Amino acid sequence: MNAMKRLMWVSVIVMVFASVFAIGVVVGVQAQDNRNRLDPLPSGAPYQPNTTELSLNQLYEQAIQSVVNISVVKANAFGEGSGFVIDTDGHIVTNNHVAEGAQYIEVTFADGTIREASVVGRDPDSDLAVIKIDPSGLTLYPVTLGDSDQVFVGQQVLAIGNPFGQSFTLTTGIVSALDRSLTAESNFSIPEVIQTDAAINPGNSGGPLLDMSGNVIGVNTAINTESGSSSGVSFSVPSNTVRRVVPYLIQYGSYEHTWLGITGNTLRPEQIEAMNLPADTKGVLVGDLQRGGPAAEAGIRGSSNEIRTSLGRLSISGDVITAINGTPIASMSDLVSFLDTTQPGDVVTVTIIRDGATQNVEITLEARP
Q: Could you give phi then psi for residue 354, rounded to 5 degrees?
A: -130, 120
Cβ partners under 8 Å of residue 241, min gap 6: 126, 128, 148, 190, 192, 340
Cβ partners under 8 Å of residue 30, min gap 6: none
How far apart CA 301 and CA 328 sit, in angstroms, is 20
Point out the catalytic residue in the list 66, 82, 205, 234. 205
How far apart CA 335 and CA 347 sit, in angstroms, is 15
How far apart CA 1 and CA 78 sit, in angstroms, is 75
Please confirm, yes or no, whether 205 is among the known catalytic residues: yes
DSSP notation for 177-234: EEEEEEE-TTS-EEEEEEEE-S---TT-TTPEEE-TTS-EEEEEEEE--SSSS--S-E
Coil, strand or helix at 10: helix
How far apart CA 98 and CA 124 sit, in angstroms, is 11
Point out the catalytic residue in the list 66, 71, 126, 127. 127
Cβ atoms of residues 82 and 160 within 8 Å: yes
Give a three-class secondary structure readout of 135-166: CCCCCCCCCCECCHHHCCCCCEEEEEECHHHC
How far apart CA 185 and CA 183 sit, in angstroms, is 7
Please confirm, yes or no, whether 147 is among the known catalytic residues: no
How far apart CA 179 and CA 198 sit, in angstroms, is 17
CA dihedral 344, 120, 215, 228 (to 10 degrees): -100
The β-bridge relationship of strands 262-266 and 216-223 is unpaired
Point out the catalytic residue in the list 97, 125, 234, 236. 97
Cβ partners under 8 Å of residue 25, min gap 6: none
Please confirm, yes or no, whether 97 is among the known catalytic residues: yes
Return the active site residues: 97, 127, 205
